[in-house]
Amino acid sequence: MKFTDQLAAAQRGNDSLLCVGLDPEPGKFPGKWKGDAGRIYDFCAAIVDATKDVACAFKPQIAYFAGNRAEDQLERLMAHIKRVAPSVPVILDAKRGDIGATAEQYAREAFERYQADAVTLSPFMGFDSIEPWLRYSGKGLILLCRTSNPGGSDLQAQKLANGDLLYEHVAKLAQGPWNTTGQLGLVVGATFPGEIARVRELAPTLPLLIPGVGAQGGDAQATVKAGFKAGGTIVVNSSRAVLYASSGDDFASAARAVAVQTRAALNAARSSSAAG
């Protein structure tokens, strides 16, 4: 199944726009697990088990695993998600951005080793950095466009010779000539609802992955109003607010409670936006 179809099915099945980000920090683990990188799989698997019927996607951030020498645990986690939540797609947050044979190896890592359904990519080396990934039929390729960090403006908000801002140009390329197989999406931060609306205007049919709701301060109502339109879905990520809802033995149930609350807020915003 194509990533876009899998995502749409998961959103309908779990009535959710929420993506649960998996950014394991052993120093924040509960109880006896605190500081133990060997428990990354156990911690993340417990979060997955608690939220698998609430989320439309999971998004493991590869750096949190690689930085702790836990790539083997990431492989186990990906297999676990496929087993317990086969209808929920997994977006590997890797932000790769290279060309040629190197890009081919990164694609093998994401789609063959880790069995991801989609991956985040940096498009700033041009189409050459996207093309090797397009060879994996049906996989989602989600390009950085207007990111949630303040420093994103250093490049993304710069005006080009044709009058477009750089992020607008990326959105146009992704909606148009680069999207040769219908696999592309865009990353747009929740801290910039005006830019979300602009990206949606330029890329009306692409899925938008929107980080920044929750711990980073993004507003759910403004995010959904700006990005969710007929024909173009959004995937709203929350990581720390869900993962570290509790530092006690109830961390998984607390994570579920926050995920349920966040899903409800996003759905309420969607209903309000549709009514308006």
Strand intervals (E) in 15-77: 18-22, 57-60
Segment 130-135 shows an average pLDDT of 97
- What band does 77 get if pLDDT is binned at 50, 70 and 90? very high
pLDDT of residue 274: 65
- What band does 217 get if pLDDT is binned at 50, 70 and 90? very low
pLDDT of residue 95: 98
The yes-or-no verdict on residue 216 having pLDDT over 70 is no
- What band does 222 get if pLDDT is binned at 50, 70 and 90? confident
| Phi and psi angles of residue 121, each rounded to the nearest 5 degrees, phi first | -135, 150
pTM: 0.95
The yes-or-no verdict on residue 214 having pLDDT over 80 is no
pLDDT of residue 54: 98
Contacts of 154 (CB under 8 A, 6+ apart): none
Structure-token match 């710069």, residue found: 158
89 and 3 Cβ atoms separated by less than 8 Å = yes
Question: Helix, strand, or coil here: 204?
Answer: coil
pLDDT of residue 271: 86
- Would you please indicate which residues are annotated as catalytic (active-site) residues? 95
Tell which wins on pLDDT, 230 or 237: 237
Question: Helix, strand, or coil here: 248?
Answer: coil
pLDDT of residue 160: 97
Structure-token match 């990111």, residue found: 147
Cα dihedral value 93, 258, 16, 229, nearest 10: -80
Q: Name which of 2-11, 160-169, 223-232 the model is least confident about.
A: 223-232
Helix or strand (DSSP H, E) at 240: helix 240-243
Cβ atoms < 10 Å from Cβ of 77: 26
- Summarised one tens digit per residue, pLDDT across range 33-65 is 999 999 999 999 999 999 999 999 999 999 999
Identity of the amino acid at 207: P
| Phi and psi angles of residue 161, each rounded to the nearest 5 degrees, phi first | -60, -30
Average pLDDT, the chain: 94
Query: Which residues share a beta bridge with 120?
Result: 142
The yes-or-no verdict on residue 14 having pLDDT over 80 is yes
pLDDT of residue 230: 79
Question: Helix, strand, or coil here: 125?
Answer: coil
